[in-house]
Amino acid sequence: MIKKKKGAIVNIGSGSTVVLPSYPLVTLYAATKAYLAMFSRCISLKYQHQGIDIQCQVLCCLSSSLSVWWRLWDIA
Q: Are 14 and 61 in contact (CB under 8 A)?
A: no
Nearest to residue 57, comparing CAs of 7, 8, 11?
Answer: 11
Question: What was the pLDDT predicted at 76?
Answer: 47
| Mean pLDDT of the region 10-22 | 76
Whether 18 has a pLDDT exceeding 80, the answer reads no
In the chain, where are the structural domains located? 7-73
Please identify every residue annotated as catalytic: 29
Helices (H), the chain: 27-47, 65-73
pLDDT at 53 over 90: yes
pLDDT at residue 61 is higher than 90: no
**For residue 11, pLDDT beyond 50:** yes
